[in-house]
Chains A and B, each alone.
Chain A
Amino acid sequence: MSPEPRETISLFVPCVVDQFRPGVARASADVLRKLDLGFETPGPGICCGQPAFNQGFREEARRVARKWIQHHEAYSAVVAPSGSCVNMVRNHYPALFDKEPDWRRRALAVAARTYELTEYLVHVAKRLDLGVQCPLRATYHDSCHVTRHLGVREEPRRLLQHVDGLVLVEMEQSDRCCGFGGLFRWTHAPISRALSEEKARMIEATGVDAVITAETGCLLNIEAALDRIGSRVKAFHVAEVLGGMARA
């Protein structure tokens, strides 16, 4: 049986963040610190099982998911700077364990207190102004998992609007997929590249200094595409902006 959760937040550092953009984890930590919230990072880089799950490897995903649950269920809340991992936990874990009632119960319990970072800040911590300054003209890319699968559309924008000096410029079709799609980026690279370059051009067209997202996968994909089309626009995770780490 799972123990009673402690009154501490687990800052869940997804494997993509851990491996490729650890600054996002540091920035997320800075944000929680600003709010005087006690937190730990159990097993940073522990995967939620999404890559295996999305490729149809359910048994492998279950093995990883059990590990993830064990690591995170001890906390009163789990906060992640990644919508797709939260979507995995919240929307796919229950079905993944539909034949294992005990694991399903544990999955549902931890899923109910697992939040995407901006969602947590706006709805649970109820803080919009983190007292950050960031003189940037920026546009926001709505990552599919954050926006469509979790329904987190306004939260990051509301937080960004409270950043001193930051001017938010909306791009055309901000919620059009950047073509990342997890392993789709590799398995169907030519399509993915065509999509990310289209996204990069839409970002360029706004004349901003930076593009901000809440999903590290999209962030890296878009950053590479901007580079390919020779753009000077920078790409930041919303946590990096809120943590005061984003620089033009």
Chain B
Amino acid sequence: MRENRFRKRYQAALNDAQLQKGVSAATRLLVSMREKTVAEIPDWQALRERGRAIREHTLDHLDGCLETLEQSVTRQGGHVFWAKDDEAARRYVLDLALSRGVKTIVKGKSMISEEIGLNDALEAHGVEPVETDLGEFIVQLADEHPSHILAPAIHKTKEDISLLFARKLLKPKVTEPKALMAQAREHLRGKFLEAQMGVTGANFAVARTGTVVLTENEGNIRFSTTCPPVHVSIMSLEKVVPDWSELYVLLNLLIISATGQRLSTYVSFLNPPMADKTRHGPKEFHLVLLDNGRSRILGDERYRSILRCIRCAACFNVCPVYTKIGGHAYGTVYPGPMGSVLSPLLFGLDAHEELPFASTLCGACRDVCPVKIDIPNMLLELRSDVTENWKARHRMYGRRLRVEVWSRVAGDETVLRWASRIARSAEPILNVAKAPDGFKLSHRRFERSE
């Protein structure tokens, strides 16, 4: 059933010419921007190797790093909450908002808040979450979800957005990207001033100094973290970095891999407010550390390295499958190659058993990954897990498989071509078999292994 829903979704994407155009143009642009910068960096491969080593080392010492982070944050007057699962994280943020009488929350782009379904929970309790990243703002306005972890509205063209703004914001129709941005900016400016709470994710958090690091190009994160009196950063626990020297390497890898920039327009470093509350900025700082299955993944040698991922999304842009079907077809918060590994691991194999098969195993994701995650190999491992599950469920699998294969072969032009080739090739093969010059067929043409 899930498999069928996946097919229906990607078929819809393949039939949507606008979406195809948008995703293909945007991913190609991101790929070329990244390639251009990488070509300028003589020690890129060495940098990747350092990134890989840093992430592995951090995973090896994750508990210690997180404890240091907690101590650093609380020492400065911040609050740290360890959320075991999505429910606990939602509850914490919601309780905080309700107890502070918060009506409006301005949000920076955060995959974790998507993962825990924060917006729905807030809305259900009368708190308005406002996405302020332009892409997130667009998908929120359209009542959709992000289709790319870096460029949430990558599936939309400027014409789509123009219509959306005219309908939802009652703005005059414009298609110039600059004019559209101005419309969004005008709408959001008021929200920043009005909001009583800001919520962001965290690209990294430096353990030694208790600093949350956020990178962006628009300035909405800077606004979200400086205007409202209360700030909450939600991060998955693997985003911790021991110290600034490691951060430097990873931040470089992240930004270059994501957009090809040497540095993003804004990099924000958030520390808890000191006891002196007269300083500008938030008066309260909360850091939510989300596990939600990650400590389980950490304990599994086969899959642990997916936790190295720094969410640059470079693997999305080079993935032939992603670029054809877009993010929504995957039906999960984390689509694309990294998501095809992470989503089944986080949300259960049963919930996403089609994703490990949604790849040609071409390996482009592995080549581009700044921290060298072997995504194709993990997809193969997951496939084996899915197949074992499936076998356990279907004792008659042999028959099912034959029917499945037959039904596809019979309806496929390429295979029919191939089938005719078998017939045509039978004779020459026999001639070769009789040839005296060494090319002898020592066995039957197709010897079954069983």
Contacts and interface: CB of A to CB of B under 8 A. Distances in A.
- A and B held together in a complex: yes
Interface of A: 11, 15, 18-23, 25-26, 29, 33, 38-47, 53-58, 63-64, 67-68, 92, 144-145, 148-149, 175-177, 179-182, 184-192, 194-195, 220-221, 224, 228
Contacts of A145: 363
Contacts of A190: 7, 10-11, 14
A144 B409 contact: no
B386 A56 contact: yes
Interface of B: 7, 10-11, 14, 320-321, 324-325, 356-364, 366-367, 380, 382-388, 405, 408-409, 412-415, 417-418, 421-422, 425, 428-429, 432, 437-443, 445-447, 449-450
B428 A22 contact: yes
Contact of A26 (B408, B412, B428): B428
Given A39-B438, A191-B10, A186 B449 contact: no
Contact of B362 (A144, A187, A221): A144
A54 B10 CA distance: 22
A56 B447 contact: no
A32 to B, nearest CB: 8
A20 B439 contact: no
Contacts of B367: 148
A40 to B, nearest CB: 6
A43 B442 contact: yes
Contacts of A176: 320, 364
Given A148-B367, A221-B414, A177 B320 contact: yes
A54 to B, nearest CB: 7
Contact of A15 (B11, B442, B446, B450): B446
B163 to A, nearest CB: 26
Nearest to B329: A191
Contact of B363 (A19, A25, A148, A186): A148
Nearest to B15: A190
Contact of B360 (A58, A64, A179, A224): A179
Given A19-B422, A46-B449, A64-B449, A186 B412 contact: yes
B380 A26 contact: no
A56 B380 CA distance: 6
Given A67-B449, A189-B412, A54 B425 contact: no
Nearest to A227: B417
A148 B359 CA distance: 15
B174 to A, nearest CB: 33
